[in-house]
Every structure is written in C-alpha cells, then in structure tokens.
Amino acid sequence: MQQAVFRAVQEGSEASPVYWVMNALATVIACYGLLANSPAVVIGAMVVAMLLGPISGVALGLNEGDAQLLKVALRTLIGGIVWILAIAMAVGFIHRDIPLTGEILSRTDARLFDLIIALAGGAAGAIAVLSPKVGTAIVGVAVATALVPPLAVTGMLLARAEFALTGGAILLAFTNIVAIQLAFSAVFWVGGYRRITSFGEFGFFAFVRRALPSIALVVVLAAVFGLQLHRAIARSLFESKAHAVLSRHFESVPGSHLIDVRFAAANGTTTIAAVVRGTVAPSAEAVGAAQRDIPPPPDGTKVALRVRFVEALIMTPQGRLLADDKGGDDIGR
C-alpha cells in the first residue's frame, strides 16, 4: 500500500501535459467566474485544478528526506503557480475595463480563518490521498479551493497595477500553500510515511526538524492573523458602542432619528460622521456631550464627532406638523 501511494505521489509530482492543460483551464474558469462574480463558476475551477500532486510531493519529500522528489515537486509546483499567474494576467489585460467584483475583493485580505481553512483542507486532501475509500473529487476541492482563486486574483490585479490589493492576494495564496503543505506532511507522518518510524529522538523530532520552516511560517502567520483578528474585533466593539451612545443622545430628542454612522481613522484621529434627521437641530453642547461619552478607540486615536443634520418637514392637510404636535414623533420612523 505504501509503495503504491509513494509511486502515485511521485507521478503526480511530475509536470505532464495534462497538468499544464488542466491548470490552464482551471485558471480561465476561475478568472471568468471571478469577473462574473459567480461563486458557482469559481467552484468549478476548484475541481478542475491539478495542484495536489506537487504539494503532496513536497510533503512526502520532506518526510522521507528524498531530495530528488522534493526537487521535482517544487519545480512542478512553482512552474504551475507561474503558469496560473501568467494566464490570469493575460485575462486581466483583456478585461481591464470590468470593475472589480466582490468575489475578487474577498480574496485580497488574508485572515486567521483562511489559515485554519487551509490547514483543514490540506489534512482532508492528504487523508484522501492515503485512503482509497475517499473519492478524488474532495482532493481537488480541498486544495484548489485555497490556491487557484487567490492566484487568479493576483494575476488579474497585477495586470491592472493594483499593487496594494495584489499584496493581500499574494499573502493569501502564500498562506494557503504553506498551510496545506504542512497539513500534508503531518498527515503523511501520522500515516507512517517517514524515513524513520520511531517516535523517539530520531522520529518525531526528525519530522519537526525537516518541517521546521513550514511550522515557523505557519506560527508567524497565525500570530500576525491572530493580532489582526483581535484588532478587528476590538474595532467592531468600539464602533458598536459608539453607535449605541449616539443613538441614546440624539434619539432622545422627540422627532429625531440617527440615520447613519461612519468611521474613518487618519492622522491620529478617528472621525465619526453621524447623520441625524429631525425637526430640531442638535446644539453644539449636545454634540460635545455625545463626543465625551464615546469610549476611546482601541488604536489610541482621539475621537472627533461630526454631525450632519437633515431637517424633516412633516406636512398635513392643515399645514406643517410641528415637533411638539401630538403624534408627530411617530411619523417617518
């Protein structure tokens, strides 16, 4: 069984004509699915791609200490990535006039959740390789889900010279590649695919030593993304509390309603732009009181509240309905 798996991984690590054709088709499908903002089409590209072979080859080459297998797998994987980027750039040049879609923008921000998904997807893919009872479709989905779309996004954004967004897409693709490879190595090691099989000093620690670069990268990425997640949660809580404070202050005035609140941080100041609709404009004192009650932002910036007042005129057959008229407060809610 192990020899059969080893031979299959070796064959999958070699660049064949089918490898190039299938990855080209997957890239074209992914690019047009992204441009059309169609998740279903992007999923189709995930199934077509053939990036599993070289990733499993890198993992097995590290576990077995097989320098030749590792060299071939790395060459095939890097070649496949460059191939995908080149095709995506060509599609990006052709369709530079199409606006960036939500499917594209969603793959320009690497997060901790993406790292966890890649680890789980890589583990599922490795189990599918080792177990004949698991269909091969899950393998393509597990790997291509994490690789082809962000690589396609990277190529199209490079064609548009959107370098700020490109950095996020590259980071997402890199994160997924490293996490998937590490998950494959770990599952292969547990499954007995390692040069030294003892669990002592020359077994487990040998595996850790060979996988140390991947482990270190995953730990660093997890720390960075964890800090990013912590900041995002803190920011979300701050915005929620600020919104509650503004609602309490401005909606306590009869006939007034808080319509919108937006936040922008720049030059050491978090500017809060609030839109209030009503019949009586809030005073400067009321705005100052609301600003003082807003909790400090988690990034240490100071708060600057700006209120835009939109006057509401409520008309009846008898004329304008004043704010202190009975029933006036309930109209327009």
Residue 64 to residue 268: CA distance in whole angstroms: 53
Task: Give the pLDDT confidence of 129-140 residue by residue, as tens digits.
Answer: 787 665 554 555
Residue 77 to residue 82: CA distance in whole angstroms: 9
Question: Looking at residue 143, what is its pLDDT?
Answer: 54
In a domain, 92, yes or no: yes
Strand duo 319-321 + 269-278: pairing: unpaired
Question: Looking at residue 322, what is its pLDDT?
Answer: 55
Residues 274 and 125 in one domain: no
3-state secondary structure at position 273? strand
Residues 204 and 265 in one domain: no
Listed ranges 114-118, 194-198, 293-297; the one with the highest mean pLDDT:
293-297
Q: Which domain holds residue 318?
A: 235-330
**Higher-pLDDT residue of 22, 329:** 22
Contacts of 28 (CB under 8 A, 6+ apart): 87, 91
Return the axis-axis angle of helices 112-130 and 137-159, rounded to nearest 10°.
140
| Sign of torsion over alpha carbons 110, 113, 119, 124 | negative
What pLDDT band is residue 201 in, cutting at 50, 70 and 90?
A: very low
Residues 276 and 163 in one domain: no
Contacts of 325 (CB under 8 A, 6+ apart): none
Residues 163 and 285 in one domain: no
Residue 186 to residue 241: CA distance in whole angstroms: 43
Judged against a pLDDT cut of 80, whether residue 174 lies above it is answered with yes
- Check if the beta carbon of residue 253 is closer than 8 Å to that of residue 312: no
Question: Looking at residue 332, what is its pLDDT?
Answer: 44
Q: What is the mean pLDDT of residues 261-286?
A: 90
Structural domain total, the chain: 2
Judged against a pLDDT cut of 80, whether residue 209 lies above it is answered with no
